[in-house]
């Protein structure tokens, strides 16, 4: 551990009254905009209360039962910066508290306060850095990862809680135990129950007030942005991470629902299948709309904007010429062509899986003839099906985490 971090941890141990009787800081494991996270050892004699079936996965419990000496209990201490408003801190702690009871969501063990400082105590989860495995995870591994992620979303969404920041660093996954745990409810919010759907016009989001006129005619995009724009401004929660925002977030729809997390999960799946991280790399929301348009098509994005009463135009020729295609179809046909030509790129999902099967002696014939290649292709087709459910531009049409878990891609777990 670098000296600066040791000094930083020492300072916390010394200044945060009562902390050093309970926990010993070991290392800094994360640093974000709103918090710093440390790995720590629980020192209390009764630290065993921190362990429970709900908290630690069963391999961990077995390991502890087998151990002859009293095993150490590790926790993650999330120190929330004093610059966060009390309301914000309360929101995160309260949601964590509401979400205890699932092994796929990190539960709040306790919260410590000294003066204006707050520390949330969570079980420590061993996990791998996403950057270390997203290139190599075979399709079966992708299946496990996504299954864990959708299970955690199913639980969170059953409480009508929107996580709002689904991305790899907030989902702690261990590729060896194949366990995943969702963390970081710093931006999460309860889905607003005041949405009045019956007021909405059929096919439109309730964010269009019935008295608002719906834009049907597109302005000439070459004229540029209107000088005296008399349309009312739009305000909506846009919290989240660029590249993972659902279209309705980009369109500033104030009636966002749990579906925005399903979109972000789709972006993670796309990242894993394409072996590109980050897949979307926009600097701002306009850039993000350009990225989505170049993949899903201008007409499709315009229709999606209209659902929220918005018009969408561009003078980028590269976007006006985009033809409609399915993202899954695109990746799949690329892999298929390579597979047929026997020139699969060495970093593709298909190549990894083929190689692994070969090494295990599971491929007896030329790959193209083998039944297992069929299975491999089948898994890919099923993964693209999952992706297409996540990437519905209209949130009304997007499947829930629960529905997605019932798709054929996850059949292995559902039997």
Q: Are 280 and 232 in contact (CB under 8 A)?
A: no
Q: If binding is defined by CB under 5 A, does position 170 make contact with Mg ion?
A: yes
Q: If binding is defined by CB under 6 A, does position 124 make contact with ligand ADP?
A: yes
Q: Which is nearer to Mg ion, 11 or 238 (CB)?
A: 238
Nearest distance, CB of residue 106 and ligand ADP, angstroms: 5
Nearest distance, CB of residue 40 and ligand ADP, angstroms: 10
Q: Which is nearer to ligand ADP, 76 or 156 (CB)?
A: 76
For residue 165, indicate whether it is catalytic: yes
Among 30, 221, 278, 297, binds ligand ADP (CB under 6 A): 30
Q: Which is nearer to ligand ADP, 152 or 353 (CB)?
A: 152
Neighbours of 270 (CB within 10 A): 22
Q: Are 143 and 245 in contact (CB under 8 A)?
A: no
**Is the previous residue joined to 274 through a cis bond, with omega within 30 degrees of 0?**
no
Neighbours of 400 (CB within 10 A): 18
Q: If binding is defined by CB under 6 A, does position 125 make contact with ligand ADP?
A: yes
Neighbours of 224 (CB within 10 A): 10
Nearest distance, CB of residue 307 and ligand ADP, angstroms: 31
**Phi and psi torsions of 186, nearest 5°:** -65, -25
Among 57, 91, 152, 170, binds ligand ADP (CB under 6 A): 170
Q: Which of the stretches 73-81, 108-116, 166-174, 366-374 binds Mg ion when contact is defined by CB under 5 A?
A: 166-174
Q: Which is nearer to Mg ion, 92 or 184 (CB)?
A: 184
In 100-186, where do the E strands start and end?
110-114, 117-123, 161-162, 171-174, 179-182
CA-to-CA distance for 18 and 89, rounded, in angstroms?
20
Q: Which of the stretches 31-39, 109-117, 142-150, 344-352 binds ligand ADP when contact is defined by CB under 6 A?
A: 31-39
Q: Which two tokens stand for residue 411?
A: 């059949």
Neighbours of 362 (CB within 10 A): 13
Binding residues with ligand ADP: total (CB under 6 A):
19
- Give residues with Cβ within 8 angstroms of 89, minimum separation 6: 80, 118
Among residues 27, 45, 46, 165, the one annotated as catalytic is: 165
Q: Are 145 and 272 in contact (CB under 8 A)?
A: yes
Contacting residues toward Mg ion, per CB under 5 A: 170, 184
Which positions are annotated as active-site residues? 165
Query: What is the binding site for ligand ADP (CB under 6 A)?
Result: 29-30, 32, 34-35, 37, 76, 78, 106, 122-125, 169-170, 172, 183-184, 186
């Amino acid at each position: 551990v670098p000296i600066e971090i040791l000094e930083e941890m020492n300072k916390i141990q010394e200044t945060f009254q009562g902390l050093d009787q309970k926990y010993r800081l070991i290392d800094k494991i994360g640093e974000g905009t709103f918090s710093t996270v440390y790995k720590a050892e629980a020192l209390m004699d009764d630290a065993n209360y921190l362990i429970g079936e709900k908290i630690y996965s069963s391999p961990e419990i077995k390991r502890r039962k087998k151990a002859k000496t009293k095993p150490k209990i590790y926790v993650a201490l999330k120190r929330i910066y004093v610059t966060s408003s009390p309301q914000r801190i309360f929101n995160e702690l309260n949601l964590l508290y509401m979400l205890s009871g699932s092994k796929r969501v990190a539960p709040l063990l306790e919260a410590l306060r000294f003066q204006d400082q707050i520390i949330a105590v969570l079980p420590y989860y061993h996990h791998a850095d996403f950057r270390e495995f997203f290139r190599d995870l075979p399709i079966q591994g992708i299946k496990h990862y996504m299954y864990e992620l959708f299970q955690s979303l199913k639980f969170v969404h059953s409480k009508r809680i929107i996580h709002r920041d689904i991305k790899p660093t907030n989902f702690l996954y261990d590729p060896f135990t194949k366990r995943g745990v969702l963390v970081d409810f710093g931006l999460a919010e309860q889905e607003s129950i005041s949405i009045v759907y019956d007021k909405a016009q059929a096919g439109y989001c309730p964010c269009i007030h019935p008295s608002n006129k719906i834009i049907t005619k597109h302005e000439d995009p070459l004229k540029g942005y209107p000088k005296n724009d008399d349309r009312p401004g739009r305000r909506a929660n846009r919290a989240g991470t660029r590249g993972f925002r659902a279209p309705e977030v980009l369109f500033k729809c104030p009636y966002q629902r749990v579906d925005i997390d399903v979109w972000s999960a789709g972006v993670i799946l796309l990242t894993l299948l394409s072996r590109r991280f980050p897949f979307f790399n926009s600097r701002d929301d306009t850039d993000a709309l350009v990225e989505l348009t170049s993949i899903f098509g201008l007409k499709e994005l315009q229709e999606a904007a209209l659902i929220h009463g918005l018009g969408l135009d561009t003078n980028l020729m590269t976007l006006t010429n985009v033809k409609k295609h399915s993202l899954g179809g695109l990746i799949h046909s690329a892999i298929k062509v390579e597979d047929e030509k026997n020139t699969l790129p060495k970093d593709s999902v298909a190549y990894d899986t083929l190689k692994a099967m070969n090494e295990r002696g599971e491929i007896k014939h030329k790959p193209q003839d083998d039944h297992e290649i069929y299975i491999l292709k089948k898994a890919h087709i099923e993964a693209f099906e999952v992706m297409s459910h996540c990437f519905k531009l209209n949130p009304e049409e997007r499947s829930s985490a629960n529905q997605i878990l019932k798709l054929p891609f996850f059949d292995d777990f559902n039997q």
